[in-house]
Amino acid sequence: MPAWEGQMHVNSPDLAQRQPRLEAFRKTPYLSIPEAGWKSRFASMTPAAATDPVVVETFAKAAVQVEVQTPTGPQLDMVTLMPMLNPKLMPVPTMLIHGEYDDVADLDRLLPFFQQQPNPYKRYVVIPNAGHMMYQQGGHRLFQHEVVSFFKAPAVGVPLACHVRYNPCRGCSHHHARRRSSGRARIIGIALQAGHRATMRQDAGIASPVIRRSFIMETLLDGVNHIALLTRDMDRFIRFYQEAFDATVVHDNRNHAGHVGERMVIMAIGGQSAFNVFEVPGNTQAHVQTPMFGRGRLDHFGLNARSRETFEQARIRLMHLGASDGTITDFGSALSVFFRDPDGLEAEVVWNKDPETRAAASRPA
């Protein structure tokens, strides 16, 4: 599957405007963008004729309702970490696309990035009559056409392993200060397991029930090492995941990091994956209950069932525990059942259908 890529250049006018606010980004984890701020994204370096005023007004009113607080982490990263991507380590087919008036990207500065990408199948597209908000401006239909045609291109038979390096600003004080005040509710971190090689593997099943892939990539990673979670009641958490999934406690520290009353438990959940669970006195994040897509960067997670039989066994257990109504969602390539644990954390159990099951479903009745 080809990848669609956008890269902000280091000296863009947009970044030049953000640079003076660097210290504010470091001190404040969130900011509130008023309607005028959302509207300005349409106007920056873009002629008024390229934008319908009704679209701008509608977008801005909706944006302030949906995004009440905007995290400053991405702003800080853009000012301090650019460039984030090494084009020489991107072997997949790639499209770079931006509006002719975009203040974030322009041809002269992005063309060198484009030229260094090793895959011969790549596109550089400039959308006329559009700026940074090209998907809602005068050139939006051409933008849609270019993106759709790129993703519908026939497979070119090249290795798909993609190595993208991203280095968070771990030296910055704001990174450590947010450990106990993060708005990410109960999920506080995910670590990825490093693998031993990067190759392409065919017919390995589907990694996500929503994203259909003809290939599963073995990259530098070998799945998820652990997911860090917060709980209000450690014993209750352990009991639930033991009864639902046969998870086992492999480590229990009741004086974690020397903090009195802070408990940290590691639970093995299959393969090399584990939960790192924390119970922290006075921390209220485990009480936070928010709807889907309102939970920050980490919304929920899915646990893989080993087989159709173990998927059904887990579903029945979750129903008996009152954690799920047992509804199965068929995504075509996978089956899924959602559940809520005792802390209210929403997650799902997924069974990726084997090739025989998928083939049988596609045959005419």
Domain identity same for 12 and 142: yes
Give the model's pLDDT for residue 155: 62
Using H for helix, E for strand and C for coil, what is the string for the chain? CCEEECCCCCCCHHHHHHHHHHHHHHHCCEECCCHHHHHHHHHCCCCHHHCCHHHHHHHHHHHHHHCCCEECHHHHHHHHCCCCCCHHHCCCCEEEEEECCCCCCCHHHHHHHHHCCCCCCEEEEEECCCCCCHHHCCCHHHHHHHHHHHHCCCCCCCCCCCCCCCCCCCCCHHHHHCCCCCCCCCEEEEEEEECCCCEEEECCCCCCCCCCCCEEEECCEEEEEEEEEECCCHHHHHHHHHHHHCCEEEEEECCHHHCCCCEEEEEEEECCEEEEEEECCCCCHHHCCCCCCCCCCCCCEEEECCCHHHHHHHHHHHHHCCCCCCCCEECCCEEEEEEECCCCCEEEEEEECCHHHHHHHHCCC
Q: Is residue 158 part of a domain?
A: no
Q: Is residue 166 part of a domain?
A: no
Domain identity same for 21 and 141: yes
- Any idea what the CATH number is for the domain that residue 260 is in? 3.10.180.10
Domain identity same for 272 and 324: yes
Domain identity same for 128 and 205: no
Domain identity same for 195 and 317: yes
What is the per-residue pLDDT across 247-301, written as a single tens digit (0 to 9) for each? 999 999 998 888 888 999 999 998 878 898 999 988 887 777 667 666 666 778 8
For the packed helices 35-43 and 53-66, what is the interaxial angle rounded to 10 degrees? 140
Domain identity same for 121 and 40: yes
Q: Residue 127: which residues within 8 A CB-CB, separation 6 or more?
A: 97, 98, 99, 100, 134, 139, 142, 143, 146
Domain identity same for 191 and 310: yes
Q: b/e for 139-154, b at 16 or more Cβ within 10 A?
A: bbebbeebeeebeeee
How sure is the predictor about 31, in pLDDT bands with cuts at 50, 70 and 90? confident
For residues 133 and 106, which has the higher predicted lDDT (pLDDT)?
133
The model's pTM: 0.43
What is the per-residue pLDDT across 42-95, written as a single tens digit (0 to 9) for each? 887 788 888 899 998 999 899 888 888 777 777 777 777 666 778 888 888 888
Give the model's pLDDT for residue 300: 82
The number of folded domains in the chain is: 2
Domain identity same for 260 and 305: yes
- Domain of 328, in residue numbers: 184-362
State how beta strands 346-352 and 301-304 pair: parallel
Give the model's pLDDT for residue 112: 84
Q: Is residue 201 part of a domain?
A: yes
Domain identity same for 238 and 314: yes
Residues written for the chain: 365
Q: Is residue 178 part of a domain?
A: no
> Which token pair is 180?
């106990």
How sure is the predictor about 171, in pLDDT bands with cuts at 50, 70 and 90? very low
Q: Is residue 164 part of a domain?
A: no
Which domain-ending residue is among 151, 171, 194? 151
Q: Is residue 160 part of a domain?
A: no
Residue 217 half-sphere exposure, CB side, CA atoms within 13 Å? 16
Which domain-ending residue is among 105, 133, 151? 151
Q: Is residue 176 part of a domain?
A: no
Which domain-ending residue is among 106, 132, 151? 151
Domain identity same for 256 and 134: no
Domain identity same for 198 and 340: yes
Q: Is residue 69 part of a domain?
A: yes
